[in-house]
Amino acid sequence: MKKQSFSIIILILALCISFNGISQQVVKPSEAIGLALEHNYGIKIASNTVDIAENNKNILNTRYLPTLTGNAGATYNLDNTEAQFSNGETTSLNGAESSRYNASVNLNYTLFDGLGRHYDYKRLKEEYSLSELQARATIENTITQLLTVYYDVARRSENLESLQETLEISKDRLTRSEYQFEYGQSTKLDVLNAEVDINNDSINIINTKQSLINAKRDLNFVTGNTIDNGFAVDTMVTFLLQLNKNELLNKLHKNNVTLIENEKNIAINEFTLKANKSGYLPTIGLTGTYGWNESNNNAASFVAVSTNTGLSGGLNLSWNLFDGGGTITRVKNAQINLENQKLQKEQLRLDVERNFNNAWDDYQNKLRIFQVQESNIETAKNNFSRTQEKFKLGQVTSIEFRQAQLNLLTSELTRNQAKYDAKLAEVLVLQLSGELLNVEI
C-alpha cells in the first residue's frame, strides 16, 4: 500500500497548531464579560471621564465659596531731597533713605449673581449624570462587541470540529479505496479522488485554525489581553425565549441609554438657558480686608515711622445694564439649542423604536432559520448514514459519497452560523431595550 499521500497530509497537519488533546481553559460568556468590565481600556477611559465629571460637580467648582487672597509688598527709596519749611528754614538731604512695607488678606464673596451659579451647579450635576450614561453606553457597546467576537470564536471552534470529522471520514474512505484497489474492486481513480479530497479537507482545517487563532486574539484584545492563549469558549447557546416584545418596548422608553442621554441633554440646555438669563440681573458682592502698612520716612518728613493695621469691609453692587448684546445673543442661542434637543428627542424616539422593531423581527426570523437548520442537520445525517452504508456495499460511487459528505458538512456549518446569528440578534434586542446589563447572557 502506498503511504506517500498520508505522509504529505501528516506533514501539512503538523504545521498547524493542534487543538486536540490539550487541556484548555474554557471561558464562559459571563467570565469574558467580567474580564472586559475590569480590564477593557475603553471602559477604563469612560470611568475616568466619569471621575472628571464628578470633580466638576463638586462645590469647589461652583463659585459658591469665597475667594481669599494674600498680598504683600516692599518699597525702598534713596533720594536727594531739598525741603523748605513754613518757617523759612531749608534742609537739603543727599542719599536720604525711606522704605514702605505692606501686607493684606482680601476676602471676596458673591452674595448674589442673578442665580447664575445656582443653575450652573445644577447643569454640572446633570453633566455628571450624562457622563455616567455615556459610560454605560460604552459598557453596552463593549459587551456587544465582546459577544460578537466570543460567538465568532465559538462558531469557528464548532466549524473546526466538523471539518476534523470530515477529514477523518475522508481518511477512512482513502483507506477503503486503497484496499479495494489492491484487491481489484475499484480503479486508481477512486484512490486519487480520495487523496484530493483529503488534501482539500486538510487545507480547510488549516485555514479554519488560523481564522480561529485570529478570532481568539480579537477576543483577548477586548478583555484587555487577560486570557491565556490556550483557551476555549463555551459553544452551548441558550436563548431567552421568554422575551416579550411589548414588555421590552415599554422598557425601551425608560431604559434605552440613547433616549435617556437625550433627556439629560434637554435638562442641561434648560439650565444653560437659565444661567444665561442671569446676565440680566445685578451682582452683589461682599469684600473684606485685613492689612498692615509700615512707612520708614527720611529726615525731611514730619513722621519718621508710621505703622497701620486695620480691618475693612464693604458691600458692592454691579449691574451690567448693557453689554453690547452679548447676553441677549447667548439667551437666544440657548433657546434654539433647547428647541433642537426637544426636536431630536422625537426623532430619536422614532429611530430607536424602528431599530427595535427591525431587531425584534430579525431575531424571530433568525430563530426560525436556526430551528429549520437543526431539522436539516438530522436529514443530512440520515442521508449521509445511508449513503455511507451503500458506499461500503459498493452501491454508490465515491463521487456520490463525497457529495453526501459535503452536504452534511455544509448543513453543520450553516447551522452553526444560524445559531450564533440568532444569539447576536437577541443581544441587539436586549441592548436596544436597555436590558443588556440586567440579564444573564
pTM of the model: 0.85
Domain count, the chain: 2
Contact 170, 191 (CB under 8 A): no
Let me know whether 205 and 354 are in one domain. Answer: yes
Are residues 199 and 287 both part of a single domain? no
Distance CA 109, CA 99 (A): 33
Which of 263, 297, 318 is a domain's end point? 318
Q: Which domain holds residue 293?
A: 66-112+283-318
* Residues 207-266: tens digit of each pLDDT: 999 999 999 999 999 999 888 878 999 999 999 989 999 999 999 999 999 999 999 999
For residues 364 and 234, membership in a common domain is answered with yes
Q: What is the mean pLDDT of residues 331-357?
A: 97
**Residue 423's closest CA among 144, 126, 7?**
144
8 A C-beta contact, residue 262 and residue 346: no
431 located within any domain: yes
Taking the CA atoms of 342, 345, 350 and 351 in sequence, report the sign of the dihedral they define: positive
Same domain for 73 and 54? no
pLDDT digits 0-9 by tens, 382-424: 999 999 999 888 898 889 999 999 999 999 999 999 999 999 9
* 43 in any annotated domain: yes
Q: What pLDDT was estimated at residue 91?
A: 74
At residue 223, what are phi and psi to the nearest 5 degrees?
Answer: -90, 10
Whether 117 is in a domain gets the answer: no
Residues 343 and 370 in one domain: yes
Asked if 331 and 405 sit in the same domain, the reply is yes
Does any domain span residue 190?
yes
Grid cell of 97 as nine digits: 533713605
Same domain? 255 vs 339: yes
Q: Is the pLDDT of residue 19 over 60?
A: no
User: Does 353 lie in the same domain as 307?
Assistant: no
Band of residue 138 on the pLDDT scale cut at 50, 70, 90: very high
Is 407 found in the same domain as 361?
A: yes
8 A C-beta contact, residue 363 and residue 425: yes
Domain boundary among 318, 345, 375: 318
- Residue 301's pLDDT is what? 67
* 415 shares a domain with 341: yes
Average pLDDT rounded to a whole number, residues 365-390:
95
Query: 18: which DSSP letter?
Result: P
CA-to-CA distance for 35 and 23, rounded, in angstroms? Answer: 21
Q: Final residue of a domain: which of 272, 298, 318? A: 318
Contact 254, 432 (CB under 8 A): no
Q: Region 147-157: what's the mean pLDDT?
A: 97
* Interatomic CA distance for residues 266 and 247, integer angstroms: 26
- The C-alpha cell 479530497 sits at 197
Judgement on whether residues 349 and 290 belong to the same structural domain of the protein = no
Phi first, then psi: give them for residue 34, nearest 5 degrees: -60, -40
Is 119 part of any domain? no
Q: How far is CA 229 from CA 23, 55, 129, 236, 382, in A?
A: 12, 40, 39, 21, 38
The 10s digit of each residue's pLDDT in 175-205 is 988 888 888 877 889 899 999 999 999 999 9
The answer to whether position 214 is within a domain reads: yes
Decide if 188 is inside a domain.
Answer: yes
Which residue has cell 452679548? 326
pLDDT band at 12 (very low <50, low <70, confident <90, very high): very low
118 located within any domain: no
Residue 345: which CATH number? 1.20.1600.10
Q: In this model, does residue 363 exceed pLDDT 50?
A: yes
∠202-203-204 over CA atoms, to 5°?
A: 90
The residue among 330, 268, 5 whose CA lies nearest residue 124 is 268
d(CA 384, CA 65): 82
Q: Are residue 257 and residue 220 in the same domain, yes or no?
A: yes
Contact 347, 416 (CB under 8 A): no
